[in-house]
Structure formats: structure tokens, C-alpha cells
């Protein structure tokens, strides 16, 4: 019989690099299912609960926690063990009174940074698409696969939207511009936070935009696609230490 679709199985040594768990402690791992984040930059919810948060010892225990509806992602109960959790997602454990935001550390691995209840009430989403829809409204597409329709003429690609949870309503625009605070989400300087000093175009046939940033007197740079604005003057979110 012919094979239909991709493999449903994944060995631990083949896990995406951002997932920080031991590769040789077992043979198999949970494979991310379809969802808001690509498999290369996310972790299945079961791994988040069992390995990253340490709320369970086994997959069976983690599945029981999820089936009981004890874990919320972006304000909504998620029970699918394969649900992908990625950058800027807010994970909540109401029974424990704990809230976490998913970020990258300096090694490019996913890290759950504990946050307050107030900070857990919103999420930052990078604008990756903008289009006109019926009725003359503007539809914004965000990095986590979600969209929002409204009067968003002032938004541009690369800007960041502050959205409330769980109703997902855009409440503020953070421009991708000089003076804004930003975090690097890829490349050599992943995990660094700095102030945008300027955006320039690198020469060559395949020109690309390079963003220059500064933090505490240190200058560094990153490709435009790796820069995520997180505040106008100060970061709106808590930043984990190294």
C-alpha cells in the first residue's frame, strides 16, 4: 500500500534545534501537528508541559493534564498534545497561578519566561502581511498565523501589534522604526535586545535590509526578518536573563 502524507513519527535526534530537551534519553519524541507556528520554530504542547515546565514526568501524565483543560495558550484551553507553541505565545496554568511567555534565549532555543497576570493579558504579534478585503477594510496577517481586520492604514510590514487576550483585539501599534526597542529572533545575535539605530540596504544583486541596533554602548546588527519590535521606548514585555 502506498504511503499517504508525511510521517507521523519523529525521533528525538531529529527534533528542531529550538527545542531544548535531551536527545539520547529516549528514542521517540512528539511531533508537532498543524497549527499557528511552523514545526521548525515551535514545540508541541506535550513537550512544553512535561520537559520545559516540568509539570509531568511522563507523556501519560502530561496528556492527563491537558485533557483536564488545565493549560491555556493565548487565553484559550488547548488539549491537543501536538499543538505547536511558539514565539510570543502566552502559556497559563490557572491552577498554579503561573503565566509564561515563549521567547528565544541567546542560544536560539525556546524559553518560557515567567510573567505577571497583567503581562499575560496581551501578546505581541509581528505584521508579516497586509491586504485589502471586502468593505474597504485592512487585514493584517501576523507571525503566529492569526489575522485581524479593521482600520489599520497606519500599520506597515514589520510593525508589531499589541493584542489583548483572549479576544485578540489590536490595542496598540509599535512601529518598526528608529528608536524602537527590538529583540532578535534569529541569526548570530538571537536573543539580544537593543534600540534600532537605522535600517540600511546591503549591496549586491540580491539586496537585503540590515538593521543596526545598540544596547549599553554595544552595536550589533541583524537581518530585517530577524528583528521583532517590542516597544517604542521601553520593552512592553519582560526579557529573560542569559
d(CA 22, CA 141) in angstroms, rounded, equals 35
99 within 8 A of 238, measured Cβ to Cβ: no
| Confidence at 235, pLDDT banded by 50, 70, 90 | very high
The structure's pTM equals 0.91
pLDDT-derived band at 176 (thresholds 50, 70, 90) equals: very high
User: What's the mean pLDDT when you consider all of the chain?
Assistant: 92
Where is pLDDT greater, at 5 or 162? 162
pLDDT at 204: 60
pLDDT per residue as tens digits for the range 31-87:
999 999 998 999 999 999 999 999 999 999 999 999 999 999 999 999 999 999 999
| Mean pLDDT across 119-139 | 95
For residue 45, what is the DSSP state?
A: H
Q: Would you place residue 7 in the very low, low, confident or very high pLDDT band (cuts 50, 70, 90)?
A: confident
pLDDT at 23: 87
Q: Is the pLDDT of residue 116 over 90?
A: yes
| DSSP one-letter code for 67 | H
Q: Is 2 a residue whose pLDDT tops 80? A: no
CB neighbours (10 Å) of residue 111?
A: 17
Residues 6+ apart with CB under 8 A from 226: 184, 185, 186, 187, 189, 190
For residue 81, the tally of other CB atoms under 10 A from its CB is 20
Indicate whether 242 pLDDT > 60.
no
Amino acid at each position: 500500500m502506498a504511503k499517504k502524507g508525511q510521517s507521523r513519527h519523529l525521533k528525538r535526534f531529529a527534533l528542531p534545534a529550538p527545542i531544548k530537551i535531551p536527545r539520547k534519553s529516549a528514542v521517540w519524541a512528539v511531533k508537532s501537528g498543524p497549527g499557528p507556528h511552523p514545526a521548525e520554530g515551535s514545540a508541541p504542547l506535550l513537550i512544553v508541559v512535561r520537559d520545559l515546565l516540568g509539570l509531568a514526568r511522563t507523556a501519560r501524565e502530561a496528556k492527563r493534564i491537558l485533557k483536564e483543560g488545565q493549560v491555556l495558550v493565548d487565553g484559550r484551553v488547548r488539549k491537543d498534545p501536538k499543538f505547536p507553541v511558539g514565539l510570543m505565545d502566552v502559556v497559563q496554568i490557572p491552577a498554579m497561578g503561573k503565566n509564561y511567555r515563549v521567547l528565544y534565549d541567546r542560544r536560539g532555543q525556546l524559553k518560557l519566561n515567567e510573567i505577571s497576570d497583567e503581562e499575560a493579558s496581551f501578546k505581541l504579534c509581528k505584521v508579516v502581511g497586509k491586504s485589502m478585503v471586502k468593505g474597504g477594510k485592512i487585514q493584517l496577517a501576523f507571525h503566529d498565523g492569526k489575522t485581524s481586520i479593521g482600520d489599520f492604514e497606519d500599520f506597515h510590514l514589520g510593525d508589531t501589534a499589541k493584542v489583548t487576550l483572549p479576544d485578540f483585539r489590536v490595542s496598540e501599534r509599535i512601529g518598526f522604526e528608529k528608536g524602537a526597542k527590538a529583540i532578535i529572533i534569529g541569526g548570530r545575535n538571537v536573543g539580544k535586545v537593543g534600540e534600532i539605530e537605522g535600517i540600511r540596504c546591503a549591496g549586491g544583486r540580491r539586496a537585503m535590509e540590515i538593521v543596526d541596533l545598540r544596547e549599553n554602548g554595544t552595536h550589533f546588527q541583524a537581518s530585517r526578518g530577524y528583528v521583532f519590535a517590542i516597544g517604542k521606548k521601553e520593552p512592553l514585555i519582560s526579557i529573560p536573563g542569559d
